Amino acid sequence: MEELRMTVHLVVRENLHAVYVEKIEGPYTIPTISHMGMHIDLYSTSAGKAILAYSPEEFVEEYLSKVDLQKKTPQTIIDPVDLRTELTRVKGRGYALDNEENEFGICCIGSPIFDHNNNVFAALSVTAASKQFLPESITKTANCVLQKARNISIALGCSI
């Protein structure tokens, strides 16, 4: 992921949230609020949405019934129907986007990581200033994140 020169996060689901377990700062990125050990919401981050999209439907139902979807920015998806639509999009393309949904001026692309039983348990994401995510660069960046997440999943015994 060095070629992207963006901040990289590894996030693991913990109950109804996710937690940053690794963060590698990119050389040209702006500071973000994230730090190792920090708990995050699943609905407003690319890593979280990647995890939700590939989680069993029962978990998504439980999640939506227990979590209060609150606006963090004007972009945050807080309508459960809209969030489900977004999760369907995520599953269709293999990666999630966070377009300033969690933090102003910050965009992220995240892809799920699967364990040896083919269950999603984590996600890999890249983070950069919104202005770095031009439409023509999103596909290239997403493909890189998707490939790295797949490589990790395969190394863990996933049969994707």
What global pTM score does this model have? 0.93
Question: What integer pLDDT is reported at residue 71 of this predicted model?
Answer: 96
Q: Considering the chain, what is the average pLDDT of its residues?
A: 91
CATH of the structural domain 2-155, one choice from 3.40.50.300, 3.40.190.10, 3.30.450.40, 3.20.20.140: 3.30.450.40
The answer to whether residues 69 and 11 touch, using CB atoms and an 8 Å cutoff, is no
Helix (H/G/I), strand (E/B), else coil: 48: helix
The answer to whether residues 48 and 108 touch, using CB atoms and an 8 Å cutoff, is no
Query: What number is the average pLDDT over the span 21-39?
Result: 81
Distance, in Å, from the CA atom of 30 to the CA atom of 127, rounded to the nearest integer, reads: 9
| pLDDT band of 35, cuts 50, 70, 90 | confident
Distance, in Å, from the CA atom of 108 to the CA atom of 126, rounded to the nearest integer, reads: 5
Q: Compute the residue count for the chain.
A: 160
Query: What are the structural domain ranges in the chain?
Result: 2-155
pLDDT value at 1 more than 60 = no
Q: Is 21 exposed, middle or buried (0-12, 13-18, 19+ CB in 10 A)?
A: middle
The answer to whether residues 115 and 156 touch, using CB atoms and an 8 Å cutoff, is yes
Per-residue pLDDT tens over the stretch 38-88? 899 999 999 999 999 999 999 999 999 999 999 999 999 999 999 999 999
Beta strands at 106-114 and 7-14: parallel, antiparallel or unpaired: unpaired
